[in-house]
Amino acid sequence: MELAVYNIEGKKTTKTVNLKDEIFGVEPNDHVIYLDVKQYLANKRQGTHKTKERGEVKGSTRKLRRQKGTGAARIGDIKSPILRGGGRAFGPRPRDYSFKLNKKVKRLARKSALSYKAKDNSIMVLEDFSFEEPKTKKFIQILNNLNLTDTKSLLVVSEANRNIFLSARNIPNTAVVVASELNTYQVLNNKRLLLVESAIEKIENILLK
């Protein structure tokens, strides 16, 4: 797949880039996309939820009334789960939600997500650029030049660039990620994918292993 390369002024350059079909032209597999996104969201969960059970609630262990002769059902102490202020029965406990996913599955999921974006013509290639200092106004100007001000976009750079990250940090619907950390969820969660020229080679090296 051949795409034109744009500069940060929003104009086409004379250069073009060939996106490899082994990554951007595969038959998408929806199930592996589901598994990869599910793992990504599960790994983000802290799992620190906790409620007190009857053995952890402060209170007397004395029975509230005698067991027989009252005409009412038996009842335990004040910490019983059926009483207000008592412990919760089978409440949540701290746990780890993460689970393992094979590398080949994750790789296929990313290829499938990128292929969907390529099929929808949602990928744009930019010339390599950098900022001498963090400038949010400058980054917003780039988005204006590319007509992406109101579009949820993800910029993929080849390596960590502090000035670019800081410039985009406070802009709504805009995110920056390093090519080596690109995941399926981020690709699908953004409407437009902006690939810096040098980032394409990094993505191909990672996904063609």
Q: How many whole angstroms separate alpha carbon 17 and alpha carbon 2?
A: 6
Residues 58-85 pLDDT 10s? 999 999 999 999 999 999 999 999 999 9
pLDDT tens digits, residue range 99-122? 999 999 999 999 999 999 999 999
- Please give the distance of CA 19 from its chain centroid, rounded to a whole number: 24
Q: How far apart are CA 136 and CA 102, in angstroms?
A: 39
- Our CA dihedral for 70, 76, 78, 79, rounded to 10 degrees, sits at -160
Residue (of 32, 41, 3) closest to 110 by Cα position: 32
Phi, psi of 155 (to 5 degrees): -95, 125
What value, to the nearest 5°, has the Cα angle with vertex 47 and ends 103 and 43? 20
Domain ranges (residues) in the chain:
2-30+97-207
pTM: 0.83
Write down the CATH superfamily of domain 2-30+97-207. Answer: Ribosomal protein L4/L1 (3.40.1370.10)
